[in-house]
């Protein structure tokens, strides 16, 4: 099991925020990306962060967007569409969405037009 699976989402969330801020992108978009990916609303996201829910439990309770197969590209030197472990792939989907937005891609394009 990868170390990140047991890590609290709340431990990584500030890094996502910092990346968006550093690149001049709206931090509010982070929750929009998480909502799009997982189906969780803002209150649920806050609840999981406050409860220090692990990535494993967080994604186990998520209803992934049916368009996740449109998330393609390289993150951490690996193509997200080729990651074999489903949980690692879901974590990297989130990383990829944040990375695309941080690089200036429009939010509607990051959310695959939905």
CB of 77 closer than 8 Å to CB of 70: no
User: What are the pLDDT digits (tens) for 53-82?
Assistant: 999 999 999 999 999 999 999 998 999 999
pTM for the full model? 0.94
**Domain range annotation of the chain:** 3-108
pLDDT of residue 98: 97
Q: What percent of the chain has pLDDT over 70?
A: 98
CATH class of 3-108: mainly alpha
74-97 residues labelled b (16+ CB within 10 A) or e (exposed): ebeeeebbebeeebbbbbbbbbbb
Phi, psi angle pair for 100, to nearest 5° = -60, -45
pLDDT of residue 113: 82
**How far, in Å, CA of 57 to CA of 8, rounded?**
9
- CA distances in angstroms from 109 to 10, 16, 93, listed in the order given: 26, 18, 14
């Amino acid at each position: 099991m990868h170390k990140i699976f047991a890590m609290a989402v709340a431990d990584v969330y500030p890094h996502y925020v910092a990346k968006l801020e550093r690149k001049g992108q709206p931090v509010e978009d982070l929750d929009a990306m998480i909502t799009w990916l997982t189906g969780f609303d803002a209150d649920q996201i806050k609840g999981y962060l406050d409860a220090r829910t692990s990535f494993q439990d967080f994604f186990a309770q998520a209803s992934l967007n049916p368009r996740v197969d449109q998330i393609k590209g390289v993150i951490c030197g690996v193509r997200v569409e080729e990651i074999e472990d489903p949980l690692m792939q879901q974590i990297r989907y989130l990383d990829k969405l944040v990375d695309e937005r941080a690089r200036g891609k429009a939010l509607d394009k990051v959310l695959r037009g939905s």
